[in-house]
Structure 1
Amino acid sequence: MLDTELTGLDPRHEEIVSIGAVRVRSLRIVSRETFHVLVRPRKDLPKESTLIHRITPDQVRDRPRLRHILPDFLEFVGTSLIVGHHVGLDMAFLNRAMDGIFGGRMGNPCLDTLRMAQIHRAEHWENYYDRYALNVSYALSDLALEWGLPLFPAHEALADAMQTAYLFLYLIKKIRGGRLETLSDLYRAGRNWRWHS
């Protein structure tokens, strides 16, 4: 499970300021196997980003640059499946950094728990009266609260990675009535969803 904290949302101009990851093995969270670092960005940390993730300029002033952190992160991740909530954003930042520093991109397969939550909700709506409810949220903390999962502080990379792990394990048990046995089953569930684009 992966999460990053950022200076902003545009991978072309903004930077990673924190990376958090936790390992899940055999559908169990391995809480002793985590990765968490703060990163010193090249430019000053914007006040707007500090208001979101609460990482201050003082906290990152003496931290290493991303180029020094990426090798350890890549060793931690290896060839594993990467799961994240809105993981495309995390991967856009990581791959832009990888390309600029090492001239290549990460080849790991990825799954998005936001997409999984949409699949689960669509299955639920097919059977119940609230299929047209418009006041739904796919924010990580809102989903955890809605489905009774343990709650972790929001917008902190390692805590968000842990929150994502709990959400992932919950959704694995719920999608298709818990009959997902392989990653192929999960990919097929996403492809067969009638609103899949």
Structure 2
Amino acid sequence: MLEKFFKNWNRKKLKNKKYDFLFDEPLADEYVSLDCETTGLNPKKDEILSIGAVLIKGNKILMRKTFNIFLKPVKNINAESIKIHQIRTVDLENALDPEDAIYQLLDFIGSRPIVGYYIKFDVTIISKYTKKYIGIKLPNDTIEVSTMYYRTRKRTSDYEFIDLKFDTILKNLNIPALGKHDALNDAIMTSMMFLKLKDLTPAKTTFYTN
């Protein structure tokens, strides 16, 4: 009941009614796996440099339904940032204006739940843009693969450490590494994690948060 109230309240703040479809009932068993490369880890001050996403339908990753764009940052990229994401200024020569990029992303995602690895960060930084352009935070439900993975691990005690690093999850699920610090590759690998974990998770529980 409370969730529905907040969803309706958020919907009323939408400045561009073209994007009212974000609040539609999502199609059954469809998801979008998403990843962002950013200038840093502070959503309030850092910027998105690239976004990769892929559509999941049922138990299939639709490789013909991928999304991969670069965004023009307002500030110059510093050297320390480049060491992490490997995106140089020259790589952004044909990048899109952030507003155009976000509109394209919203059209791709629709109202589908968003799957990701530490997806809260991605949604938070994307929401900084959507709030500016359409007046609201990204309203889609999210599914966190590290939480799914954690719940499938057998522990001998409540104090046992569970390694939730991306590479560890890949290895333990026997998923091939496609390359690091590439938004689309990360989104594809995350989608493979999700499909494997979906059947392993007790009672096939979904892990949605707004």
TM-score (norm. length: structure 1): 0.83
Q: Could you say if the C-alpha distance between residues 132 and 104 of structure 1 is closer, same or farther in structure 2, counting changes exceeding 3 Å? A: closer
Does the Cα contact within 8 Å between 1:140 and 1:163 map onto a contact in 2?
Answer: no
Shift of 1:173: 1.5
**1:1-197 equivalence runs, <5 A:** 1-121=33-153, 124-125=154-155, 129=156, 132-134=159-161, 136-176=162-202, 179-180=203-204, 185-187=205-207
May I ask how many residue pairs the two structures share in their alignment?
177
> Aligned partners of 1:14, 1:62: CA distance in 2, in Å?
20
Shift of 1:132: 4.7
Does the Cα contact within 8 Å between 1:16 and 1:41 map onto a contact in 2?
Answer: yes
Does the Cα contact within 8 Å between 1:150 and 1:166 map onto a contact in 2?
Answer: no
> Aligned partners of 1:131, 1:49: CA distance in 2, in Å?
37
Does the Cα contact within 8 Å between 1:141 and 1:154 map onto a contact in 2?
Answer: no
The share of aligned pairs that are identical, in percent, is 27
Q: Could you say if the C-alpha distance between residues 8 and 24 of structure 1 is closer, same or farther in structure 2, counting changes exceeding 3 Å? A: same
> Aligned partners of 1:101, 1:139: CA distance in 2, in Å?
34
Amino acid at match of 2:65: E
Which has the larger displacement, 11-20 or 105-114? 105-114
> Aligned partners of 2:94, 2:70: CA distance in 1, in Å?
10
Shift of 1:53: 1.4
TM-score (norm. length: structure 2): 0.79
> Aligned partners of 1:35, 1:11: CA distance in 2, in Å?
22
Structure 1 gaps of 5+ residues are 191-197
Shift of 1:62: 3.5
> Aligned partners of 2:66, 2:157: CA distance in 1, in Å?
38
Does the Cα contact within 8 Å between 2:48 and 2:125 map onto a contact in 1?
Answer: yes
> Residue deviations 1:74-126, cap 9 Å, x none?
110001110110000000000011112222222111111111112112xx22x
> Aligned partners of 2:141, 2:48: CA distance in 1, in Å?
21
> Aligned partners of 1:85, 1:147: CA distance in 2, in Å?
14
3-state DSSP of counterpart to 1:22: strand
Structure 2 gaps of 5+ residues are 1-32
3-state DSSP of counterpart to 2:206: helix
Shift of 1:71: 1.1
Q: What's the C-alpha RMSD, in Å, of the aligned pairs?
A: 1.9
Which has the larger displacement, 92-101 or 137-146? 137-146
3-state DSSP of counterpart to 1:186: coil
> Residue deviations 1:48-84, cap 9 Å, x none?
2211111111111341221111111111000111011
